Structure 1
Amino acid sequence: MRDLIDPLIELRDVSKAYDEGPPALSGLTLDVQPGEAVAVLGPSGSGKSTLLNLVAGLDRPTQGGVTVAGVRVDELNETGSAKYRRAWIGMIFQFFNLLDDLTVADNVLLPAQLAGMPRARAAARADELLGYLGIARHRHAYPGRLSGGERQRVAVARALMNSPALLLADEPTGALDSASGADVQALLRELNADGQTMMLVTHDLSLAEACATRTVELVDGQVARDTAHSMPKVAR
């Protein structure tokens, strides 16, 4: 019997092979429901980053299907993949990937500009996010003047700019000190508590335990364990 709510992410018998060596993913099947925060764990070479890239439409599987929000991502061409990411995906990277010659506000506004959002609406959305994330005072600063934790908050604001259905994060605390990392963990937990669906790729078990409602452990490109658990409640 089909679930009453369709999965946001559906991967069916997905494999990804490169020119040499064993496949990065091998016959992987996985569903992610709306509102879940899924942490994908595993050692280096387990297929975590490949999985994230396939869901983001940055790569294509050798075999199998990848569907996100009803879109067959594996069938999109380059232009279609770019439109899909603008419409459905927000991405957070380990090393922020901010543009150093743009101010904080302009970095956050960039996805809206690429999507053609009206200027007034984009400005209002940016103001909302900068306030929500506690970085409004830095709107005219350049990323190089900010701490690592502040830069990651700017990256989160940019990822949320177009109100994505799915937030993808690749080692989002990997470049941060412990205090800043804990701050970003709390932010991600709050976002999920507010209904944001997330997939986090990490080798850090403490990040998974702090931010995820479910952990999926990969070994040699296959799901070794899939465990649901409860996150600590968010203080309001």
Structure 2
Amino acid sequence: MNEPRNDDPLIDVREVTKAYGHGPDALAGLTLRVRAGEALAVLGPSGSGKSTLLNLIAGLDRPTSGSVTVDGVRVDRLGETASAKYRRSRIGMVFQFFNLLDDLTVTENVLLPAQLSGMPRVRAAARAAELLARLGIERHARARPGRLSGGERQRVAVARALMNRPPLLIADEPTGALDSVSGAEVRDLLRGLNADGQTLVLVTHDLSLAESLATRTVELVDGRVARDFPAVTR
């Protein structure tokens, strides 16, 4: 796989169409480029193509036409095995409802991506401890996720997503299941990660979250980019 040149975007989506049987296309010739270090918020009403775009970037689905390149990898050309490897090494994903395993401890949940990628155990344990400390949840290392608050569980999910040092972090409605206080904590956490250089793509219905977190916002309507604008303040 070719590595991207320094002047290449981290995400390069070109003329992508995605059709699902009958009805209008979920994406209709969409082109989008995201540079390393950006925090991109993707807004739009239900059915605008946000989730489809996210799935294509993550290699969970393939476009009907067009190309999707992430970190130098032609994601739309990957087979099932290569796609799974790509997600383990290059994508971290954070979801609205955490997707943690309640029968595992916090540390064991965070370690899962390292185990799947074959990271040596000692190095994986050190990385997990580093992330728990960085995200302020080291005291919960041996707890089960069900004993944590929503905000704490989302921090565990972020730590898990960062375990393999992915160049891209995808967050799908990361504050949607949280109260306002926990949501603000997660927002500040993601903003801090981006300030440290982590590229972030955020899908949300929450305009205030996008305004406070993103360095750039795109709005999708009917599978196309209707607006693309930088943040005024953050």
What's the TM-score bracket when you normalise by the shorter of the two chains?
A: over 0.9
Task: Give the one of 82, 102, 105 matched to 1:103.
Answer: 105
Deviations 1:129-188 (Å, cap 9, x if unpaired)? 000000000000001111100000000000000000000010000000000000000000
Pairwise mapping of residues 50-69 of structure 1 onto structure 2 (< 5 A)? 50-69=52-71
Are the aligned partners of 1:167 and 1:197 in contact in 2 as well (CA < 8 Å)?
Answer: yes
Are the aligned partners of 1:14 and 1:64 in contact in 2 as well (CA < 8 Å)?
Answer: yes
Are the aligned partners of 1:212 and 1:231 in contact in 2 as well (CA < 8 Å)?
Answer: no
Task: Give the one of 21, 24, 36 matched to 2:23.
Answer: 21
1:216 alignment partner in structure 2: 218
Aligned partner letter, 1:98: L
Is the partner of 1:206 in helix, strand or coil?
A: helix
Task: Give the one of 211, 229, 232 matched to 2:231.
Answer: 229
Task: Give the one of 193, 197, 200 matched to 1:198.
Answer: 200
1:120 alignment partner in structure 2: 122
Q: CA deviation at 1:4?
A: 5.7
Is the partner of 1:39 in helix, strand or coil?
A: strand
Cα distance in structure 2, aligned partners of 1:84 and 1:28: 22
Pairwise mapping of residues 65-104 of structure 1 onto structure 2 (< 5 A)? 65-104=67-106
Aligned partner letter, 1:38: L
Q: CA deviation at 1:229?
A: 1.6
Percent identical among aligned pairs is: 76
**Structure 1 residues 189 and 21, CA gap change in structure 2 (3 angstroms):** same
Are the aligned partners of 1:16 and 1:23 in contact in 2 as well (CA < 8 Å)?
Answer: yes
Aligned partner letter, 1:76: L
Are the aligned partners of 1:211 and 1:231 in contact in 2 as well (CA < 8 Å)?
Answer: no
Q: What is the total number of aligned residue pairs between the two structures?
A: 230
Aligned partner letter, 1:145: R
Q: CA deviation at 1:87?
A: 1.0
1:147 alignment partner in structure 2: 149
Cα distance in structure 1, aligned partners of 2:125 and 2:187: 27
Is the partner of 1:173 in helix, strand or coil?
A: coil
Q: CA deviation at 1:19?
A: 1.4
Cα distance in structure 2, aligned partners of 1:133 and 1:158: 11
Aligned partner letter, 1:163: R
Q: CA deviation at 1:210?
A: 1.2
TM-score between the two structures when normalised by the length of structure 2:
0.97
Cα distance in structure 2, aligned partners of 1:225 and 1:140: 45
Is the partner of 2:217 in helix, strand or coil?
A: strand
1:164 alignment partner in structure 2: 166
Deviations 1:97-132 (Å, cap 9, x if unpaired)? 001111000000000000000001000000000000
TM-score between the two structures when normalised by the length of structure 1:
0.96
**Structure 1 residues 6 and 120, CA gap change in structure 2 (3 angstroms):** same
1:131 alignment partner in structure 2: 133
Q: Spell out structure 1 runs of 4+ moving beyond 4 A.
A: none
**Structure 1 residues 88 and 4, CA gap change in structure 2 (3 angstroms):** closer
Unaligned runs of 5+ in 1: none
Pairwise mapping of residues 8-47 of structure 1 onto structure 2 (< 5 A)? 8-47=10-49
Cα distance in structure 1, aligned partners of 2:233 and 2:143: 34
CA-based RMSD: 1.0
Deviations 1:26-83 (Å, cap 9, x if unpaired)? 0000100000000000000000000000000000000100000110000001001000
**Structure 1 residues 84 and 4, CA gap change in structure 2 (3 angstroms):** closer
Unaligned runs of 5+ in 2: none
